[in-house]
Every structure is written in structure tokens, then in C-alpha cells.
Chains A and B, each alone.
Chain A
Amino acid sequence: MGHSSLEGQYSHSSSLVDNVRFSQQAPIILGAKATSAKINLLPAQQEDPGHYVLLEQLFLSCLQTGDDKSALQCLELLSDRFGPSNERTSGLYGIYEEAVAKGHDGLEKCLQKYDSILSENPVNLPILKRRVAILRSMSKPVEAISSLVEIIKAIPTDAEAWCELADLYMTQGMAHQATFCLEESLLIAANAWNIHARLGEVLYICARSGDETSGQYLVRSIRCFCRSIELCDDYLRGFYGLVMATLPLLDGRQGDTGFKISAAQWENTVPAATISKLHIFAKRRLEHIIEQRSSNHQLWESCQGEIIAAKELLDSLRDTT
């Protein structure tokens, strides 16, 4: 994928393989930190802000792979520099405490701690967000949603919070609210192709409801996937979604997909011929991407799951035809 290679080798990605590899470098990175504490004569050779970003990513990767000791070391380096009262370090400290907390009681304790921090400074954004996350992991989605709504009321320009709210709504099956939230986050970051693709997926789910508007939802979903393809070259998720979303609108394929959509619902917006062309294009492109990435070892490792899923989709389509 275009964006994953752009983020460089040091990033906290969603791929577990990358995270394991990154956290294995922890001793090297942390060791280098310890020896480089020589005297700086000229203040021009000051600290590089990138180091601290790197430390933060390393911290997250270490926690995810269970290396709590290195994570704590990263955290100490960060709080040495920025002070434990800094909002972002306190948020990271919260993550650490949640990670090592034992059982439900431990999480409850973290929650109380957050509440006491928030009573001092009610606009501590990282802690506010941690509070939502902890409520979510304690499986209290309703409380999580209501406190996230409070955050968004105060800080409506945070795309991350809108996306999280959309995700929470989706867990509750409230797809229409999720659509609204995703649109809101797209208003903040208009060119985020992954959010476009996510919106397409949510709209696709909306279309499954099977009432008279579902055709329109499906057309909107197709458009979102098209946009994500337009914004990002070879975006596998976008092509996958496009194949899925165009499938129910093809002639004679309705029965396979479980959609109940009559042609009258959508045919005045997009001609049927265009839909079938899009479907063919997406399918061919998907085949090409799979072929390309399976042969390249590095690409294959970074997005194994996606490629396997895409392969399965294409195989199932081939079986039915």
C-alpha cells in the first residue's frame, strides 16, 4: 500500500508483524540513548524532536508486544524530558497503567485516577480520550459514547475523536449515526482515503437494511470507494469495497448477495453499464494487486491479511460465475 511505505520503517502500524519487529529493536534504540548523553557544547546541536516521536512509537509497540519493561523505560525518558505533568506524557502513562492493570478492579482504579486528573484540568485531551478508551474496554459502550460526545462538543475539530465515535456507534449497530460521524471527520481531513473507504463500508452496511433507500446507500457507498481509489493509488481496501458494493447492482447477481434492491431505486443516478464496467475494472485491478504483492516478499508480509481476504473474494466470485 502506498501509505504504509510512506510512513517509513519507524511507525506504529496496525500490522502486528511490524510491531513485533519494531519492539525487538527496543534494546538498541534505548541503549543508544544511554550512551549518547555526552556534553553538547553548542546549543545548536539540540535534541531532535524526531527522537521523542520515535520513543513514543516504540513505547506503543513495546506495550502491544508485551515488553512492559522497555515500555516503562521509554516512558521514563519521555517524562524526564517533558515532565510527568505534561498532558501527552500523562496520557501515555495512563496507557501504561491500563496495560499492566490486573482485571476489572485495576481498570476501575485507573478510571478513578483519570477522574481526579480531570477535576483539576477538565480540558486534558489525552486523559479525556483515555477515559473513553477505558470505558470501552470495560464494555460500557453507552457511557463511552456519552462521554465522547461531551468531548466532541468541546473539541469539534478532532478527526480522531469523530472516527472513534463512529466506531463506537457501529458496535451498537447505529450505522446512520456512524455515517454522520465519519462525514464530520472527513470535513476535517477531506483527503483521508482510509476514512472515505470506511464510510463506504458503513454505507454498504446501511444498504443491507433492505428498505426503499438502500439502493441510494449502495450508490453512495460505491462513490466513496471510488473516491478512495482516486485519492490513493492501488488502494486494496478501496478496490475490494468497490467489487463488493457493485456486486448487488449487477444483473442477475442479487440473489447471491442477500440484497433486496429493485432497479428503480438507483438506475436514475448511475447507468447500469457504468456499474458493470466499474465492477470489472475493480476485479481486474484486485487480481493485479494480489499478483504483485504475493510475489514481493516485503509487501506480502506487511499486508498478508488483506491479500488473503481479497483472494477469497475473487475465488468466491469465480465459483458463482
Chain B
Amino acid sequence: MVSQGLEQTIVRDPALFYWILIPISIVMILTGILRHYATVLMNTPPKPPSTLAESRERLSILRGVNLRNNASAVLTKEAFEARKNYLVSAYQNGEFLKDPENRGQAPANPMTDPAGMEAMMGMMKGNMMMMIPQTLIMSWINAFFSGFVILKLPFPLTIRFKSMLQSGVMTRDLDVRWVSSLSWYFLNLFGLQSVFGFILGSDNAANHMSQQMASMNPAAGVNPFQPGQDPDKLYQSEAENLEVLEHFCILDGIEDRILHNIAPKYGYTF
């Protein structure tokens, strides 16, 4: 803690400002932009189903979900029971599966399954895009600029900020307002989001067009299953969900609703 009234002064070479603070900021911004475009380039859209059977396997689960969500808005009791029975038995017998004879076998190891492998590669690429530039730049800063105090904040801060603002400078008595070069890197890393937003458009601007391309084929693009997940298991649990579903319908008594709620709205009373 600094004694009251006494300002700590450090005589700094102004060159520190020009040759450390500004280069770090510029490098951070440039790598951010570079990373953005690299992600866009390496981004692979989710693979659409290649056969009709595959698409059927993916989307039939949504039929059960839709039935659960919307049956009450549409169906009469008979129609509801017919659909429920059909879907439950079809789910249980695995009628929607791509290759029904493989049912019950252990799911393929995602390491050997090419589709699973691809999805994992996609995830890995994304992570690598974040990690590699960060490590490189941090080691660069550590090697060249570690130990420099480059900036003095114009406002006082409590002692807790010391670890945040002065990493790499091992001085116990230094005022918290002094910022070290390594900390400036961290501040940039987390604080430049809005700058990128300004330069590159709002966060997902670059992904936007690719998303639009995907939505050009709305039904075929989505895959409700994670890689390595067994569709049969999901179907079984969906069948259980459907089995406990009770029928009710909002169309029952809608005549009275119209007469009592809607008609007065238009100024008629019955």
C-alpha cells in the first residue's frame, strides 16, 4: 500500500510507450483479424446427409418431438392415438434406422468412424485456431518485453488488481496503477472484442453468409445427433416419452371461447 499523498514516480523512457505498448496492441489486432479469416476459411459446414435413409434417420426423431409439442393444438383423440401408436412402435422396432440390422451393436468408435472423425477434426481446428496464435504471441511477448512497466493508469485501484495488472513484474511495493507489458497483452486479449466487432462487423458477420448457405436447404442440414451417439437409444427414449403422453385438445370448447373472448373484442355480445 502506498502511503497517502505520496505519488510513486518511475522515470520511464518514452520509447517504451512507442516500442512496446503500441506494437503489442497492433499485433493483437492483426492476429485477431487473421484468426477470424483463418476460421472462416477452415470452417467446414456440417455435412448434409448423403442418402435419403440417412436423412430419414436424422429427422424422424423430430416427428416425435413435434407430436409431443403440438398434438394438443391440432389433433382429435383418434388421430392422436393413431399417430402415437405408429410412432411408438416404429421407434421401438427401429423402423427409421439407416441400417436396422446393426441395431443393438455397440456404437462405432468415434475414432474409427470417418463421420465422427470429421466432426472431431472440426472441433479441433476451432480450438487450434484459438490456441496456437495465443501461445505464439504470449511467448513472443515474454521473450522480448517481459518485465517492462509501460503504462500508468490515471485512476487508483485496490490491491487486488495487482495480479491482473502486473504479471511478470515481481515487485511487491509497486503501485497498482502501473501496468506491465504482459498484463497489457492480457487486457488486449480480452478487451479487443468490440474493436473486432467494429472492424469485422458484428461477431458472427463472417459466419453469417455460410449460415445462410446452410439454410438454403433447411430440412437437410440439421443433425440432431452428436457424433458417436446411437440413434437407436434416442429413439427408444423418445418412444418412452410418447407413451406417457395424454391427449387433450385445445379445439374442445373453442366455440365458446370464440363467443366469449373473440366476439366481444369485435363488439358483439352473445
Chain A interface residues toward B at CB < 8 A: 42-47, 49, 52, 82, 86-88, 121-126, 150, 153-158, 180, 183, 186-188, 190-191, 220, 222-224, 226-227, 229-230, 270, 274-275, 277-278, 280-281, 284-285, 288
Measured between alpha carbons, how far is A194 from B149 in the docked complex, in Å?
69
A296 to chain B, nearest CB (A): 17
CB within 8 Å for A44 and B268 given contacts A150-B52, A155-B55, A190-B74: no
Residue of A nearest to B52 (CB): A154
Number of interface residues of B (CB under 8 A): 50
* Chain A residue nearest in CB terms to B75: A183
Chain B hits for A157, CB < 8 A = 59, 62-63, 66, 219
- Which residues of A have CB within 8 Å of B73? 186, 190-191
Contact for B259 among A87, A125, A183, A278, CB less than 8 A: A278
A239 CB to nearest B CB, Å: 10
The residue that A87 contacts in the complex, of B52, B205, B216, with Cβ under 8 A, is B216
Partner of B258, one of A46, A191, A278: A278
Q: How far is the CB of A275 from chain B (nearest CB, A)?
A: 8
Q: A86-B213, A153-B56 are in contact. Are A284 and B268 (CB under 8 A)?
A: yes
By the criterion CB–CB under 8 Å, are A154 and B56 in contact? yes
Interface SS of chain B: helix
The answer for the CA separation of A180 and B74 in the assembled complex, in Å, is: 11
The one of B59, B67, B70, B201 in contact with A43, judged by C-beta atoms closer than 8 angstroms, is: B201
Nearest residue, chain A, Cβ from B251: A223
Kindly list chain B residues whose C-beta atoms are within 8 Å of the C-beta of A88. Answer: 216-217
Question: Could you show 5 A-B contacts with beta carbons less than 8 Å apart?
Answer: A43-B205, A155-B55, A155-B220, A274-B256, A281-B258
Interface residues of B (CB under 8 A from A): 48-56, 59-60, 62-63, 66-67, 69-71, 73-76, 79, 198-201, 205-206, 208-209, 212-213, 216-217, 219-220, 250-251, 254-259, 262-263, 266, 268, 270
Contacts of A46 in B (CB 8 A): 201, 205, 208-209
Whole-angstrom CA separation of A280 from B70 in the bound complex: 31
- Taking a contact as CB atoms under 8 Å apart, the answer to whether A186 and B201 are in contact is no
What chain B residues lie within 8 Å of A154 (beta carbons)? 52-53, 55-56, 59
B213 close to A82 (CB less than 8 A): yes
Q: Say yes or no: A156 contacts B62, CB within 8 Å.
A: yes
Chain B residues near A150: list those with CB within 8 A.
52
Complex Cα spacing A318 to B199, Å: 68
CB distance from B30 to the nearest CB of A (A): 14
The CA of A224 and the CA of B255, in the complex, are separated in Å by: 10
Q: Is the CB–CB distance between B219 and A125 below 8 Å?
A: yes
Known: A156-B59, A187-B66. A123 touches B52 (CB 8 A): yes
B251 touches A281 (CB 8 A): no
Q: How far is the CA of A88 from the CA of B198 in the complex (A)?
A: 32
Q: Cβ of B220: which chain A residues have Cβ within 8 Å of it?
A: 123, 125, 155
Which residues of the partner chain A approach B59 to less than 8 Å between Cβ atoms? 154-157
- For B71, list chain A residues within 8 Å (CB): 187
B70 touches A223 (CB 8 A): no
A43-B200 contact, Cβ under 8 Å, with A183-B75, A186-B70: yes
**A186 cross-chain contacts in B, Cβ below 8 A:** 70, 73-74
- Would you give the shortest CB distance from B159 to chain A, in whole angstroms? 41
Residues on B with C-beta less than 8 A from A191 are: 73
